[in-house]
Structure 1
C-alpha cells in the first residue's frame, strides 16, 4: 500500500512511520521541522526502498496540495491517508485565548487535515477504495480546563470526520478516528512517564489498516491507565 502520513518528524507519527515501513508499505511522509524529519528518515531509510519525504509547515495549503501531487507521482495513488500532525500552542481559559493563537490551532489541527483529504479523496472515490485515519484526541470527547482552543480544534475535525464517514461509505472509503489520551512525547513541555508512549498509540493504530474489507472501525480510544476523565 501507498501510505501518506503527516507529522512524521516526531511522536506518534514517527513511530507509525517506522512500523509501517517494517511492513513494507510505500511511504510519503512530511513534517514541519527539517532536522527532526531528517532524524526520522535515518530510521526509515534502512527499512524502506519506497520513501518520499518533504519538510514544510501545514499552514501552507498550496504546499499540502503539491506534496500530495508529488507523492502520487513518486509512488502512485495513495491508498491510506493518516493525518497525524497537530499542535497545542496556547493554554488559557477560553475567554482569555488570543484569536491569533486559536486561529493557528484551527489551521493546523483542523483545516490542514481537511486540505489533505480534499487533495486525496477524489482519487479514492474514482477507485472506490481508500482509508483515512484522523488522529484526534480524547479532548474531543471530554472537557478539560485550560485547553479550550485545542479541544475545539480537535472537536471540529471530529465532527467533520463523522459527516464524511457517512458521505463516503458508498464509495468504499473508510474514515477512522483515533482518540489518544495523554501521551508522553515531544508534544509536552514536561515529562509524563505515567502517560502513554507514542509507540503505544502507533501499535494500536496499525491493526486498523489490516481488518477485513467489510469491517469498518469507526473510532478507537486509547488512554493511559492513570487517566480518570472518562464516563
Structure 2
C-alpha cells in the first residue's frame, strides 16, 4: 500500500515499542513504591548487577501479566485514526466499500460490547459505526482499488468516527494522500490489564522474586534433563 502502508507499519511498530517501555517502567515504579511506602520490605542490594537483574525480572513479569490479562502493548499508546486502534481485538471482514450489512452490524455491536470502540475503548454508546480499515477514501487516494486491497470492519463510536472524518480531510489535498498529520486519539479506559504492575508488586519483594526465579529455573532444568533421559532410552 505504498506510503500509507509504510506509515501504518511504522506507527504500529513505534506504538508497540513505546508500549513495552511504558509497561516495564510502570511495573518497576509500582514495585518500588509498593515495597518502599505501602508494604516496606528489604530493598534490593546496592550491587548494580543485582539491581539490574531485579528490574529485568520485574519488567518481564509485568509484561507477561499484562498480556495474560488481555492487554496489548499498542493499547498503551494513542490510537491511530487510520489503522486498527488500541482496543482492536477482532474484526469483521469487509467484502466491499459499502456500509456494513445488518448481519455485519450485529457482529460489530457484539465486538463493541466486549471490547469497546477500537479507537478510544468506550462502550457507552451503542450507536456503533462500521469503520473500514483502511478507510475507503485513503485506498482511493493512494491509487488502490477497493476490491483489491483487503479491508476489515472495526467498531467505531460516533465521536471517533467524526474525528476520523476531520483527520482525513486534513490529510487529503486535491484527492491525494499528503500524510497522516495529527491523526491519533489519546485514551484511557479502565481495564484489568492496568493492574499488572500491582499484581507483580504484591507477588513479593526482590528476594522472594529471586527465589521464585531460581525455583522456576531449577524446575525447567530438571524437566529438560528428565525428558532427555526419557527420549535417550
Between Structure 1 and Structure 2, whose CA radius of gyration is higher?
A: 2
TM-score when normalising by structure 1: 0.27
Q: How does the TM-score come out when normalised to structure 2?
A: 0.27
Higher helix residue share: 2
Structure ranking higher in strand proportion:
1
